Chain A
Amino acid sequence: MRDDDVSLDNCLKCSDCNTACPVVTAHPAFPGPKRLGPELERMRREGIHCDSDWVEYCLSCHRCDLACPNEVNVSELIARAKATHKKSPSRRWRDYWLARPGLLGKLSTIAPGITNFWLGLKPVRLLMSMFTKITPARRFPAYSNSALRAPEVELNQGERVVFFPGCFIKYNQPELGCHVLQVLQLNGFKPEVANAGCCGVPSLANGLPGEARERAKANVNSMAAAVDAGARIVTACSSCGHMLKTGFAHMLEGDAELEKKANKIAANTFDLAELLMAQQDAGKLNTHFGPVAGKLKLAYHAPCHQKSQGIGRPWYQLLRHVPGVEIEDLNAGCCGMSGTFGFKEDKYLVSMEVGSELFAAIHTNAPQAVVTECATCQMQIEHGAGVSAMHPVDLLLNAYKHGARK
């Protein structure tokens, strides 16, 4: 954001943002987005020192942006505050790693069996909490030993799409990535996997915009040619999708050529369900869904970064039409995990308190499973509500399999 951006002058102090903020709701001492965003920015521009440890508690969920009736870039202003914030050495060391899930993934998947074994041991987790300030209450997601590759069956026809997997699918759940590719194939697309790294959301959330900019640069350069050749980009992680659509161009401001490429990538990036619903509108969606085993009572949780993309509720609309599936939108706010936030020892309790409303809604609804497209929302739901959570694409692929059998 440029210093002459005056969107903060639109702030009328109406407090809509504070009312919408999940952390304000859960944690009464949190000063709220109005203070940490526009008000601190105003002081910074006057050269007044105004750092606050509270900026570390912003989840980057963008709910304040959606609540603001005057289009103030509240969360962006808080991101600026995060970037100038001074952390203690131990938190800085921890956040260095949390901000780089791509690097962590690369190192951990050298020998995933050993990584998973060590991370699963309680004493190791206690040591990690002592030395890296990572909560021992959570288990790290298991790393996978298989790599995500484009499907071997070569299809010469079909529209070319590039799948941007993101760190979680790449290093932890490559089988989920395979399901995405299969669903794309079943809908007549010719998918390939982007040669891309981390999208940069974790770096930005941890107050490291320089690192996020590097990631944006690398990703833009790796995907620009495909988009120029007419391919569309597909995401299955809501945070990656959010970043590709809103973050890259913004991060690369000042470099006209990269910014132009980033804008083109953004305009051609689709969430998987958004793409499928667009196919539906064009009458091209494969609707050979078979009834999934028995009757399935599910609950849908919309991740914050899905809401911030402004695409409606495509997964919910899609799954409602799978025979045998009864699905309800929980609409119970933020889960509180916010990617790496919930792993931090000092933030763990706040993270769980933010999620408590969602956990309560899940218990009232009593579904067999919760469906949500964000991997860390899934972790938080399983941890906090004790109900299994899955990505909607797994369900969709299952429905296609049953449909084919018919």
Chain B
Amino acid sequence: MASNHFDLIVAGAGLSGITSAAAAASRGLQVALVSSGPGSFVFGAGCVEVQNMDRNTPSLREALDFFCNLTELAGCGFRGGLEDKRYIPTILGCFQAVSLAPFYMWNGDPTAASQVAVVGIRGLSSFDSNFVAERLAYHACKLERSTAYTAHEIKLLTVADTFPGTLQFGNRYDRDPRFREELRNALLPIAAKANLIILPGILGLKTGQIEIESLEKQLGCMICELPTLPPSIPGMRLFNRLERHLRGAGVEFFTGFPIQQLQIENGHCKGVLLDTPARPLKLLSETLILATGAFSGKLLGTSFTSVNHDLHPVDANSAVIADNVFAAGAILRNSTARELNAKAILTGYVGGMLAAGVGVQYAR
């Protein structure tokens, strides 16, 4: 029972960090996931675009399949795949073309429904149903769809002296059965005249497939839930679900303390030092995956320029900086904003598999 010795340390709990930890754990590795904050989950919902990528990118299909399966196991399943393309609405009233999306967004496509009710909540300033409905109708026209969008506003009992935000509603949805009932009753008359309801993201941070699909069944109507200003309730829900699943799969979480230093000696990384109170906590591992995002690449030093075909970080002369370190996700800085999530899943999956000694291909 060595305390802090692992097969793999994953740094970063964003989309790529989570995917790589899951991939490695699925191959039997003892994984530690080190993070400070839930990555980009707090800003978005995790929709994946692959339209602009080469569909034959090595390992891409495998990675997306793995991710879909992972979310299904975590109780927050994604729909779609490499060949799919759907138009998902946003709170700014436009459509975003995606290939994969969480189940509670997938039905937002204008082809999925003919009568769509866009439902706002009185007092919730971050979602304007009139604005969204009008713009969606306009954009649906441009896409040559005849879907009708109508705006609605429901009134929910709010807590006195507060400006209700999506976080308040999300927390109450999780904890208060009366609030769930109130919301359902408010939506019922609207659902009777529509086959899709578009809502701001408020359906709980801890809910999952069972709870939301049961609400759809009670309403007799599909739901599409959109992330609003941070915190994104759907994004945090996905994160909470994945975290719970990974803990169950034996991944050890070290949350809240950034990495102070990688212990690289002679081109080999022995472990990391975490910036913990009193003295740094030392974690040892055989391999390390750096998925710390676009803004914190400093750990590898200034010489880090990109990665080679095995995802090892290399310097300007293509010399490997550490032979047991892999870099994944936005730290690679080789993605456009649109393909960021797809690349995060791809490199996270490839990194996790390579760390587990499984031969998978990665082409830059």
Task: Give A contacts to B, CB under 8 Å.
Answer: 13-16, 18-19, 24-26, 28-29, 65-71, 242, 244-246, 266-267, 269, 277-278, 280-281, 307-314, 317-318, 320-321, 329, 331, 356-357
Contact = CB atoms under 8 A, between A and B. Distances in A.
10 closest residue pairs by CB, A with B: A66-B256, A69-B37, A310-B276, A245-B278, A277-B3, A28-B159, A266-B278, A15-B231, A245-B277, A246-B277
B278 A320 contact: no
Contacts of A69: 36-39
Nearest to B205: A19
Given A14-B231, A16-B37, A71-B36, A312 B4 contact: yes
B277 to A, nearest CB: 4
Nearest to B169: A28
B165 to A, nearest CB: 9
Contacts of A24: 167, 171
Size class of the contact patch on chain B: 35 or more
A246 B278 contact: yes
B131 interface: no
Contacts of A66: 36, 255-257
Nearest to B240: A19
Contacts of B205: 19
A196 to B, nearest CB: 17
Interface majority SS (helix, strand, loop, mixed), chain B: loop
A267 B1 contact: no
B285 to A, nearest CB: 14
Interface in B80-94: none
B256 A65 contact: yes
A144 B216 CA distance: 57
Contact of B281 (A71, A242, A310, A321): A310
Given A13-B230, A310-B256, A25 B175 contact: yes
Contact of B3 (A245, A307, A310, A312): A312
Contacts of A313: 252
A65 B37 CA distance: 10
B274 interface: yes
22 contacts: A14-B37, A14-B230, A15-B231, A16-B38, A24-B167, A24-B171, A29-B159, A66-B255, A69-B39, A70-B37, A71-B36, A242-B277, A266-B279, A307-B256, A309-B278, A310-B257, A310-B276, A312-B281, A314-B3, A317-B3, A321-B1, A329-B247
Contacts of B258: 71
Nearest to A356: B175
Contacts of A244: 278
Contacts of B159: 28-29
A281 B3 contact: yes
Contacts of A277: 3
Nearest to B35: A69
Contacts of A70: 37
Contacts of A13: 230
B270 to A, nearest CB: 14
A176 to B, nearest CB: 23
A281 B258 CA distance: 23
B161 A15 contact: no
A232 to B, nearest CB: 12
Contact of B256 (A18, A26, A67, A317): A67
B160 interface: yes
Interface string B159-174: 1111010011001101
Contact of A15 (B1, B3, B167): B167
A65 B257 CA distance: 9
Nearest to A31: B162
B279 A267 contact: yes
Nearest to B258: A71
B236 interface: yes
Nearest to B236: A19
Nearest to A273: B3
B175 to A, nearest CB: 7
Given A18-B167, A18-B231, A71-B258, A269 B37 contact: no
A310 B231 contact: no
Contact of B42 (A16, A307, A320, A357): A16
A46 B293 CA distance: 34
B284 to A, nearest CB: 9
